[in-house]
Amino acid sequence: MYGKFVFPTLLSILLITSSLFAQTKSVDSFLNGKQKVYGATVSAGGNVMVYVSNYKKKKTIELFEVTKNENGKWGEPIRLTNLSNKFEIITDPFISYDANFLLFSAIEKGGASYDIYFSERRGSVWQTPRPVGGEVNTWKVEGSPSLSLDGKQLYFLRDEFGDPEKGRTQLYVADWAGDASYNNVRLLKGSFNEQNVKRPILYRGGNVILMSLQKDNKIGGYDVNYTYQLEDGTWSDPLPLAFMNTPKDDFLAGLPVTGEAVYTTVDQELFQIEIPESIPATPLVLMKGYLRDRKVGMHVDAVVRLIEVGSNKEVLVGRNNPTDGFYSIIAPVGKKYKLNFFSKNHVEFDTLLDFSGIQTFVQYDQNIEMTSEVLVQYALQDLNSLRPTSGEIRIFTGNQLIHSSYFEAGQQPQQIPLPLGYKYQFEIISNTCQPYRGIINFQDSKRYPAIFEKKIRMRRKLQEIYFEILTPEGEKPKDTNIQVKNLETDKGRTYSAVSLAYLEYGSRYQVEVMRQDEVLETMNLVVDPEGKIYRVSQDWQWGQPLKQQVTAPEGPKIEMKLEQI
């Protein structure tokens, strides 16, 4: 996918004349001629460099870090002692595209061969290095690590020094297996692996690789070349990048995605080669910033996903830095994406990115604020009619009441802010419905949207009423029954002539006394929100007065004799 953008750019580079050598300058603002550089790497944004040198301690090779200031000038280098002190030799550092990991090749003190190590950045501090896990490190020599954009592929060199037929450094790739481990190691298929490969780096993380090769009939011992991946998965024959090469040995040191410059080392001296404006930058988007908690301003540790709109394909999955909240993504242009941040105890954050019209390199700086509160939106409904109902909402943590509000039927759904990370008990008290109690557990690691909908279907309270239909002799008739229909839900039930029935609060009923299929008597009843039962006319509507209450000493009762009907 990336090759469609990168390859034309590289063809343009090949057309640059020798006048470009005037754009090459030594990076001496912090080196001052006092040290040799044995390898370097530059961050995706071009503002951080880590390099290997003997600066201020000529007999010891160490890792150093230097950062550009606001004026674009390199500051003073910082010795990364905690990374260097366990190694005899260090070489070929590489900063991951998300700026969270530093990889390099090294020999431990007392060790026999080079292995690949990594260090994780926490805030501004690189942590104690560990060897890359999985199938990468062996008894052979492994070096020059670099990563794909999403970190799922690790490219590295392996020197088969034990085999006289393979006495060269060759380029391999391995797949991420979780927990800083890489497996499925395989040799890249390309003619460059018939030579000695040095310092390979993916060009902006795509399917073009820049590397230094030793070839006959070329000026110098090592020149910078490039190769690109073909449709069948193999790699093209390497071609030299003439504008980078000198009569001496030339090795890559850094390829910022900004497209402003590349860095090389020549005779252990670091050079910056500015790329002129006539060469279009590869169409990519670099987006970076910090994740903060909206309320307290602290950094947020999150999973970062870039998802292609339409196909729903995950283009990138990773994490931001857990100690300072910094995130960095690089995305190809020509598409729309959803950028997703997920953090435990924070509301999931989505933002839509439209890169479909971008045709060059663009850098965005965007800080993201995540909220730790979910807006719980309650919707109270009658269980039978599914119509809105009213009630008081009370929310507790433990025995402590933290929220109380009244929800009126017909109003907009109520939204209550609740912090994630807690378990809440709630109860709903309604005049017409039975009390409802439940739990909302925000202590798990689920993804929660900004608005969490909670639909509550409540059972109506029930009021007893006694129906008694008797013969003139005061006996229960065998051929007569009572049909009671709830006009709110359009649901009914048939009772015997002498029965105890239950009517829902806040409901209107039609009652028919039936003998076989003949309607002997019809009446309309209303149960008000307090449970009182009234007889009303057939055309009665809610809001009209209620006058004729059905009462009896022992409770609401309807009495009729068949001779009266």
Do 126 and 233 reside in the same domain of the chain? yes
Confidence class of residue 114 from pLDDT cuts 50, 70 and 90?
very high
In the β-sheet with 261-266, what is the strand arrangement from edge to edge?
A: 24-26, 269-274, 261-266, 250-254
Do 244 and 334 reside in the same domain of the chain? no
316 burial type by CB count under 10 A (0-12 exposed, 13-18 middle, 19+ buried): buried
List, for residues 197-206, the tens digit of each pLDDT value. Answer: 999 988 765 6
List, for residues 374-402, the tens digit of each pLDDT value. Answer: 899 988 888 877 888 889 999 999 889 99
Looking at every residue in the chain, the average pLDDT score rounds to 84
The CA-to-CA distance between both ends of the chain, in Å, stands at: 86
Q: What is the CATH number of the domain that holds 216?
A: 2.120.10.30
The pLDDT score that the predictor gives to residue 19 is: 37
Confidence class of residue 250 from pLDDT cuts 50, 70 and 90?
confident
* Percent of the chain whose predicted confidence (pLDDT) is above 90: 36
Which amino acid belongs to residue 62?
A: E
**How remote is the C-alpha of 455 from its chain's centroid?**
27
Is residue 176 over pLDDT 80?
yes
Confidence class of residue 22 from pLDDT cuts 50, 70 and 90?
very low
For the CA atoms of 240, 145, 41, 248, what is the dihedral angle to 10 degrees?
-40
pLDDT, greater one: 1 or 525: 525
Helix/strand/coil percentages in the chain, nearest 5: 5, 50, 40
Do 516 and 400 reside in the same domain of the chain? no
The pLDDT score that the predictor gives to residue 555 is: 79
Do 266 and 299 reside in the same domain of the chain? no
The pLDDT score that the predictor gives to residue 69 is: 82
Which of 4-8, 125-129, 530-534 shows the lowest mean pLDDT across its residues? Answer: 4-8
Which amino acid belongs to residue 552?
A: A
The pLDDT score that the predictor gives to residue 3 is: 29
Q: What are phi and psi of 226, to 5 degrees?
A: -140, 155
Last residue of one domain, picked from the residues 433, 458, 483: 458
List, for residues 402-422, the tens digit of each pLDDT value. Answer: 999 998 887 777 889 999 889
Is residue 343 over pLDDT 60?
yes
The pLDDT score that the predictor gives to residue 244 is: 80
Is residue 167 over pLDDT 60?
no
Do 379 and 419 reside in the same domain of the chain? yes
Helix ranges restricted to H, 350-402:
none
In a domain, 57, yes or no: yes
Do 299 and 413 reside in the same domain of the chain? no
Confidence class of residue 4 from pLDDT cuts 50, 70 and 90?
very low
Residue 389's domain comprises 373-458
Confidence class of residue 283 from pLDDT cuts 50, 70 and 90?
confident
**Biggest CA pair distance of the chain:** 127
Do 127 and 228 reside in the same domain of the chain? yes
The pLDDT score that the predictor gives to residue 33 is: 60
Is residue 20 over pLDDT 50?
no
Do 307 and 453 reside in the same domain of the chain? no
CA atoms of 436 and 380, how far apart (whole Å): 10
Confidence class of residue 450 from pLDDT cuts 50, 70 and 90?
confident
In a domain, 431, yes or no: yes
The pLDDT score that the predictor gives to residue 134 is: 94
Is residue 15 over pLDDT 60?
no
* Percent of the chain whose predicted confidence (pLDDT) is above 70: 88
Q: What is the CATH number of the domain that holds 348?
A: 2.60.40.2190
3-state secondary structure 313-325: CEEEEEECCCCCC
Do 327 and 467 reside in the same domain of the chain? no
In a domain, 279, yes or no: no
Residue written as token pair 């965005």 = 364
Structurally, how many domains does the chain consist of?
4
Which of 253-257, 303-307, 367-371 shows the lowest mean pLDDT across its residues? Answer: 253-257
pLDDT, greater one: 527 or 383: 527
* Contact assessment for residue 314 and residue 94, using Cβ atoms and an 8 Å cutoff: no
In a domain, 154, yes or no: yes
Is residue 217 over pLDDT 70?
no
Last residue of one domain, picked from the residues 326, 351, 370: 370
Do 332 and 407 reside in the same domain of the chain? no
Is residue 281 over pLDDT 90?
no
Last residue of one domain, picked from the residues 370, 394, 414: 370
Quick one: average pLDDT of 188-205? 86
Do 70 and 35 reside in the same domain of the chain? yes
Confidence class of residue 280 from pLDDT cuts 50, 70 and 90?
low
Q: Which is nearest to 556 in space by CA: 488, 492, 484, 487?
A: 484
pLDDT, greater one: 342 or 274: 342
The pLDDT score that the predictor gives to residue 323 is: 84
Confidence class of residue 17 from pLDDT cuts 50, 70 and 90?
very low
In a domain, 92, yes or no: yes
List, for residues 128-165, the tens digit of each pLDDT value. Answer: 999 999 999 998 999 999 998 878 899 999 987 644 44
Do 260 and 396 reside in the same domain of the chain? no
Is residue 216 over pLDDT 80?
no
Residue 325 gets the label, from left (phi > 0), alpha (psi -120 to 50) or beta, of: left
Q: What angle do CA 302, 307, 313 make, to 5 degrees?
A: 130
